[in-house]
Amino acid sequence: MRVPVRGTAVLHALAGAVHGTLENLSHSGALLNVPAQPRAFDHEVELRLIDGSGTVSARTVRVDRTEQSWQIAVAFDRVDPAMRASIDASIASALLAARRRPILLIDPDKARLASLIDRLAGRGMTPLAPRTPLDTIDLLTRAQLQIGVCMLAPGSSELASVLADSFPWVTTSDITDDLDGSVDRAIDTWSTTPVARLGVAIG
């Protein structure tokens, strides 16, 4: 099973190194997003995961062009035990996130925040409500949490811009006076994320 992960990858070949991001990962291979098409089809791939980094031997099995990048599917040939343990940890974290269904909440209105937390928890989500900007950054940078949706209080356009620039994988969802509608929209948004699709796949 391939699972969505957040990490980086470097393809090392005779023509030079190509840096990219990880789209998904399995024990046998990975899907990479890179800015340029690698010229070689056999690589040393450096994976930087949540629980460690290392290099694996891999071969390209598929190349797809997107509007702004290339998607490279690679199959692993050799994986050492330490790297395999890191891959196991990343897969386990993705599966846990799919079951936890996390949504970030940023709202200075404490009463409204408490009500939203109750509503989200009642719908089977895991609401995360950081108290400070540093807490927010800490949660968003924890790749193992797989946070893909952030609910924002009214008037948070500046924060929304910061999230778009620094955490492009996070989709924002507005909080309005209609709290049930706000929760519905956030959950609908979450359902389009890769980790949500994983949750459907694993039941």
For residue 117, the number of C-alpha atoms closer than 13 Å in the C-beta half-sphere is: 13
Decide which of 35, 66, 95 is a domain's last residue: 95
> What is the DSSP annotation of 146-181?
---EEEE-TT-HHHHHHHHHH-TTPEEEE--S-HHH
Shared-domain flag, residues 106 and 75: no
Residue 78 has a pLDDT of 86
Q: How many whole angstroms separate alpha carbon 154 and alpha carbon 129?
A: 16
- pLDDT means per 10 residues in the chain (203 residues)? 87 80 93 83 82 87 88 91 91 91 96 98 97 92 88 92 89 96 97 91 80
Q: How many whole angstroms from its chain centre is CA 181?
A: 25
CATH of the domain at 140: 3.40.50.2300
Q: Which domain holds residue 27?
A: 3-95
Shared-domain flag, residues 76 and 36: yes
Shared-domain flag, residues 109 and 29: no
Q: How many whole angstroms separate alpha carbon 22 and alpha carbon 8?
A: 5
pTM: predicted TM-score of the whole model, two decimal places: 0.81
Shared-domain flag, residues 180 and 165: yes
Of 138, 114, 140, the closest CA to residue 127 belongs to 114
What is the domain count for the chain?
2
